[in-house]
Structure 1
């Protein structure tokens, strides 16, 4: 290793080139800061190279294959052949490459300096960057830690064998698995189960009844109904007892929530998405930086750590380990550095899944609202009663609205079905702006369109949904 004798001076350094890191870098440059971005591996981080983007290629193809199978009812003669996974992976690689190149060019256009290497703290205003045999020292005015997180194995896995996969590894397989076992009920597990079943795999999904799926209770029930309809086998488990791997596949011995021992066999076993902050190699302990009991960096409202010139964003901080949080914090932290007073409010957050059909769950669930002691009205409008859903044949699902019975404020909007992801942004805006029932009923809605289901769901709060017969109106007051 060659140690640099000169200490290089920098204004703002960002460690980590994932969504949060590069968003902070570009926004910092836009605000007039001189920015240096240090990335150990590849720009885009886990999200672009391993997680969000690669997985959504598969969920999109799974959705389109399902749609292709429905074309016969429109008089379109089509034959859906087996998926060519090699071509799919070629396309996935192409998409990742295009997006990564785009981010790199945006950094260059904004005069963001990109340095490849592994960074570690030498002091409160000094880091070392190692790149193969080169080691350079940088002094800085401000620094942002955006190193993300890494996968860890669940306790029941003693060693990672060839047929035990982290979720991101599932989207790197070169052959479609005949039988796939997926453990988990978060959005990643649900997306994987949904998309691989659509692609032709025989899928078994293991869920834990004591923690439950992550959406409103009615959404969870509907998703499980659709999974059953699509021949996804769902097992409510209490405990995984043993895992045995052989040449042909893997065998899981588990205890169900009904205290029955069952054996599930498959080609591969996907463990739950469990992650922890990636901090070990940063050397922050020598700085005396404060961490939470769970090992996350403690920050204030402006993403500042216990050390005044050091900031942290994304997965290394408490809160959802999701790209949108890192991006939001990344933009806000540089605004704070230049003297602005940005706000990052994680009260109302998007909880979405690219399943088939997709899910968007925003705001309070019915259970959460009742637990808070709110008096609520609840209305659920089935997409089967929506004109455009009937035209497209996308009739699975519904929109559920939860309203405060005291002041008519919308407390939650939950949707499963076609258009859920696209409409989730509108749901978020309505809740952020403290919308009331009248705010949703007043505008003019495009006809025909999925958006009309939102209007009728709100109208249903008072039993006034036009396209539901009186016997089917599902508005309730609690």
Structure 2
């Protein structure tokens, strides 16, 4: 079949079946559209099959293993335990398959047609889809592009996914590395560093050409303390020059720090790369869809491209490569294309790290708030003074709130510790509602719970925290 022959008439087409793609398909179906979802590989996309779920399965296993070490504190007596990583990987695959089946069931329930193949634009309202033994043309009224991204290669690092691994394979190792070098400073780098260290790896973290992490300064200090406590070596401002295989340990990493070349022998290296958009074979240039200098599709606040009947979401658009961004964009895109008023805003995008203990952050850091011209107040509460954290044996961490001293508007919330990833939603909601200090201190917080740490941090802003020593409270008030 060639262009110009009969095309199949379709209403609403989504290209890509990841979290953003299938969410857009379902939302459009909920709004009465007849939807076709085109996926070239497996439903669930990179997040479910290679990214979020595999990596978080490993971090959850590391967290569970840490908890098991503390069970004797509660009077449990047990024989020595060991980890069967092959069995763990089998369970991970079972989870993935179950979730993929769940997406298929949701699509079927919403009467969404699923087509497997490679899609590309032929014109502003036509796409071609190549399958193993066929080629079809589809004409559409609206389309959402959700084809995701791929890791950017590094000229000095040749990925083989045996000893030199990318973000799609680092969580799938059946044997724990003796010495893992991690080249990166993002959430996944920290998650893999802590998780593999818990399971016995010697870990070296190299920060690529920078001397600190990109969180609030209080979190940065606590992260470095956590790495030191776990005997994880941190190399700042490193630039890898080459990675070669050797017969002694497995690999040799040549890198430079402050102009000095160094060599490090290790068994494995993980390079946590940034993502590039998967748009090369889509044919979007053929129909005039605009991209920026890095190839990301340019969209408006309704996630529409320059062609108003076509939207783009997820990793092919500018911004962090996070499923939470893609999922929110998916609903905005579908709603906008269906004629509803909807808008996408990244201002209060929560950032979470599934380490042990977990990390979560939303809004401005203390440093960014000052740079933006705010007179800043900070309130901080340590989990060591939280009763529920103590009884769980998880006293490590803190909650920090950044506020404007003049308006008392909450500007940012940063935390590390048990429950941080769930608790950050309270902070995100508060900031979306333009909460002030009194809005954080007025509600009732369940007791005993980690939630009370958020209350104490808010009360600390005004020097009224109950479980903070008076001297520290006076120090806070003296800085107002």
**Normalised by the size of structure 2, how large is the TM-score?**
0.95
TM alignment of 1:422-433, pairs within 5 A: 422-433=422-433
**Which segments of structure 1 move beyond 6 Å, counting only runs of 4 or more?**
1-4
Q: Which runs of 5+ in 1 are unaligned?
A: none
- 1:85-141 CA deviation, whole Å, 9 max, x = no partner? 110000000000000000000000100000000001111111110011210111111
Equivalent residue, structure 1, for 2:288? 288
Matched, 1:109 2:109: yes
**Secondary structure of 2:169's aligned partner:** helix
Equivalent residue, structure 2, for 1:252? 253
**Secondary structure of 2:193's aligned partner:** helix
Equivalent residue, structure 1, for 2:65? 65
CA contact (8 A) 1:188 1:273 kept: no
TM alignment of 1:75-114, pairs within 5 A: 75-79=75-79, 81-114=81-114
Matched, 1:180 2:176: no
Q: C-alpha separation between the residues in 2 aligned to 1:147 and 1:325?
A: 14
Equivalent residue, structure 2, for 1:167? 167
Q: Give, in angstroms, the shift of residue 173 of structure 1.
A: 1.6
**Secondary structure of 1:225's aligned partner:** helix
Equivalent residue, structure 2, for 1:136? 136
CA contact (8 A) 2:161 2:169 kept: no
**Secondary structure of 1:253's aligned partner:** strand
Equivalent residue, structure 2, for 1:359? 359
Q: Which runs of 5+ in 2 are unaligned?
A: none
Count of residues in correspondence between the two structures: 477
Equivalent residue, structure 2, for 1:279? 279
CA contact (8 A) 2:395 2:417 kept: yes
Q: Give, in angstroms, the shift of residue 212 of structure 1.
A: 3.2
Equivalent residue, structure 2, for 1:322? 322
**Secondary structure of 2:119's aligned partner:** strand
Q: C-alpha separation between the residues in 2 aligned to 1:336 and 1:406?
A: 38
Q: C-alpha separation between the residues in 2 aligned to 1:28 and 1:112?
A: 10
CA contact (8 A) 2:21 2:330 kept: yes
Q: Give, in angstroms, the shift of residue 290 of structure 1.
A: 1.1
Q: C-alpha separation between the residues in 2 aligned to 1:234 and 1:198?
A: 16
- 1:296-354 CA deviation, whole Å, 9 max, x = no partner? 11111211111232211111111111111111111111111121110111111111100
Superposed CA RMSD: 1.8
Structure 1, 393-402 or 286-295: larger mean CA deviation: 286-295
Q: Give, in angstroms, the shift of residue 180 of structure 1.
A: 0.9
Q: C-alpha separation between the residues in 1 aligned to 2:13 and 2:411?
A: 40
Equivalent residue, structure 2, for 1:157? 157
Q: C-alpha separation between the residues in 1 aligned to 2:352 and 2:89?
A: 25
Q: C-alpha separation between the residues in 2 aligned to 1:133 and 1:178?
A: 46
CA contact (8 A) 1:215 1:351 kept: no
Q: C-alpha separation between the residues in 1 aligned to 2:4 and 2:264?
A: 56
CA contact (8 A) 2:123 2:287 kept: yes
Q: C-alpha separation between the residues in 2 aligned to 1:39 and 1:211?
A: 41
Q: C-alpha separation between the residues in 2 aligned to 1:430 and 1:211?
A: 32
Q: C-alpha separation between the residues in 2 aligned to 1:241 and 1:337?
A: 47
Q: C-alpha separation between the residues in 1 aligned to 2:107 and 2:9?
A: 20
Q: Give, in angstroms, the shift of residue 46 of structure 1.
A: 0.1
- 1:379-398 CA deviation, whole Å, 9 max, x = no partner? 11111011111111111110
Equivalent residue, structure 2, for 1:202? 202
Q: 1:23 to 1:397 in 2, by over 3 A?
A: same
Q: C-alpha separation between the residues in 1 aligned to 2:385 and 2:84?
A: 37
